[in-house]
Structure 1
Amino acid sequence: MEMKAEKSKILVIGVTGRLGFELAKASINASHPTFGLVRDSAFSDPHKSQKLHLLSHSGVTLLKGSLQDEESLIEAIKRVDVVICAVSSKQVPEQKLLIPAIKKAGCVKRFIPSEFGLDADKTRVSNMDNNFYSNKAEIRRIVEAEGIPYTLVCCNFFTSYLLPSLVQPGLKAPPRDKVSIFGDGTVKGVFMKENDVAAFTINTVDDPRTLNKVLYLRPPGNVCSMNELVEIWEGKISKKLEKNYVSEEELLMKIKATPYPDNMEMVFIYSAFVKGDQTYFDVELEGSQLYPHTKYTTISEFLETLV
């Protein structure tokens, strides 16, 4: 009788962050022995300690340590088979401390670095994004050069980013009167809920099909142009919005006139909804095709919660 392979033990780095928290929960839900690397300081932060309490209650083993403390880092890595890093974009370069530790530990069957956005090798805004994507691409190159087995997850935008305002820079809620549409409104972007990204990510860890590959998330119902987004929203509020089309030139002028980091929202909008950086290329592996039973929230379902 064939023994069912044991589920990989998973270490999540960044468990107090939005995605890291969801990754740890998804890992436990999928019955993986799950560990979280946590800095000492997190326990004294009320918001973070509440998350840590919830995780530990659900069965996550919390290990004290940080990317800066090599000894605790290697010790944590030695307890697992898979390392998932979910540090914030500002901390992406700090993974340069993690890669040698993974190499030294010598036991990691899969590393999932902190990508979780647009494909850093495919974006076409490198001169205006303040190294946002080149930092991620650099980590890819180091992982490849070191021969560490990896999976990259490109989920495009999170629904918590830009979608709550219907892609209106500076707004906190979707407009009910007039709306700006960038470019001609036909270029498609992709939005995914964090907990869905986490579920798809955990599916990949023991899947030979995703080894040393990029998994893209572009499921039906989550790939949408600005014209389509506005139409879905108009349907939900039973009202037509006044549309103001902002040309590529106008948007680029606004980006140039706005200092960093305040211009980044517009840079990401330009990248996704004018240049089409999320959807201009075909993909080999798409999450909802690879894992058809994984449920996810569509853009329409998410917008429903904002009515």
Structure 2
Amino acid sequence: MEKKSRVLIIGATGNLGHHLINASLLFSHPTFALVRPSSFSDPHKSQKLQALSHAGVKLLQGSLEDEDSLVEAVKQVDVVICSVQAKQVLLQKLLIQVIKNVGSIKRFIPSEFGLDPDKTQISGMDHNFYSNKAEIRRLVEAEGIPYTFVSCNFYSSYLLPSLVQPGLKVPPRDKVTIFGDGNTKGVFVKEIDVAAFTIRTLDDPRSLNKVLYLRPPGNVYSLNELVELWESKIGKKLEKVFVSEEELLNKIKETSYPDNMALIFIYSAFIKGYQTYFDIESTGGVNATKLYPELIYSTISQYLDTLL
């Protein structure tokens, strides 16, 4: 059996990072985590880090702003995965330079994990959320670094707990807002499943220098279908209020940043269809569920069962 790649995960104490670490260990990869020195003195994080260390993760002190620590960390591994928050995306520039200079990394997975920034045409509206991610893609390509970009669309923990009702924390049981005509489909995937597909792809030549798309059957729903599914679970019809594209755009303009980001994401997915308007294979990307049919994932229906 081929030797598993040694993996460095940056952003290990975050939500996705935590799942990436667990998946890396589960798939028997020697696993390293780059951790900010301040995290070791944070009571909540230090407890997490201790658990990771006991599980076999090699903890390395450093940060995306400290070149020496990046060089030392990158030299010890074959694959680098970055899972920092969207607002820190451009901090990966130094990391990309280090990966280029070290020259031994077989694959880099930058922090993206959302809608494909090259397929999401809302510049000037999203406060550079997608253009920053696209900028990192171009830099990786320009430096000739082997990569996989992971486009997982929405996390199930985002918007789905409210049935895509901004401001709510639980799904409605009386009245529901439908954006647009309600027929455009969006995609939701649990973080634990995103992590499993990401780690599964690390030593797979089929996904090298490609976008890995997560669009699992059972996780692709329009708002009308989501509401119908929820109604079948609660045994009750909801009153539907339709909000047009124009009304949603006005609401986005009236709402200050960052509070309007949820509305912008809804506009991207459920009005413009940026998660599903294209055929994966014809774009040169690869479909994660077709590559790894053996991976079991949670469907939207199963997720909604946990909200009953």
- The answer to whether the superposition gives a TM-score over 0.5 is yes
Q: Which amino acid aligns with 1:137?
A: A
State the SS of the aligned residue for 1:107: coil
Instruction: Give 5+ residue unaligned stretches, structure 2.
Output: none
Counterpart secondary structure, 1:117 = coil
Q: Which string of whole-angstrom CA distances, capped at 9 and with x for unpartnered residues, describes residues 262-303 of structure 1? A: 110000000000000000011021111110000100001011
Q: Which amino acid aligns with 1:72?
A: S
- 1:260-275, aligned counterparts within 5 Å? 260-275=257-272
Deviations 1:133-166 (A, max 9, x none): 0000000000000000000000000001000110
Which of 5, 12, 15 matches 1:15?
Answer: 12
* Partner SS, residue 252 of structure 2: helix
Amino acid at match of 2:182: G
State how far apart, in whole Å, the 1-side matches of 2:43 and 2:162 are. Answer: 28
Residue in 2 aligned with 1:95? 92
Counting aligned pairs with the same residue, the percent is 71
Task: Please name the residue that 2:34 is paired with.
Answer: 37
2:61 corresponds, among 57, 64, 83, to 64
Question: Does 2:153 match 1:153?
Answer: no
1:226-245 CA distance string (max 9 Å, x none): 01111111111111111101
Task: Indicate the residue corresponding to 1:181 in structure 2.
Answer: 178
Tell me by how many angstroms 1:46 deviates. 2.6
Question: What SS is found at the alignment partner of 1:252?
Answer: helix
Which position in structure 2 is the counterpart of 1:74? 71
Q: Shift of the alpha carbon at 1:51?
A: 2.1
- Aligned ranges 1:200-215 → 2 under 5 Å: 200-215=197-212
How many Å apart are 1:109 and its aligned residue? 0.3
* Distance in 1 between residues matched to 2:212 and 2:273, nearest whole Å: 18
1:258 is matched with 255
1:13 touches 1:87 (CA, 8 Å); kept in 2?
Answer: yes
Cα pair 1:166 1:174 within 8 Å, conserved: yes
4+ residue runs over 6 A deviation: none
SS of 1:73's equivalent in the other structure is helix
Structure 1: distance between partners of 2:55 and 2:193: 18
Aligned residues: 304
SS of the residue corresponding to residue 229 of structure 1 reads: helix
* SS of residue matched to 2:262: helix
Aligned with 1:170 (options 140, 147, 167):
167
**AA matched with 1:295:** I
Question: C-alpha separation between the residues in 1 aligned to 2:260 and 2:63?
Answer: 31
Verify the 8 A CA contact 1:186 1:226 in the aligned structure 2: yes
Query: Match of 1:115, SS?
Result: coil
Q: Spell out the pairing of 1:99-110 with structure 2 (5 A cutoff).
A: 99-110=96-107
Q: 1:126, CA displacement in angstroms?
A: 1.5
Q: Which 5+ residue runs of structure 1 have no aligned equivalent?
A: none
Q: Secondary structure at the match of 1:189?
A: strand
Aligned to 1:245: 242
| Structure 1 equivalent of residue 137 of structure 2 | 140
Residue type matched to 1:274 in 2?
I
Identify the residue that residue 53 of structure 1 maps to in structure 2.
50
Partners of 2:226 and 2:121 lie apart in 1 by 23
CA distance in 2, matches of 1:46, 1:248: 46
Asked if 2 retains the 8 angstrom alpha-carbon contact of 1:124 and 1:275, the reply is no
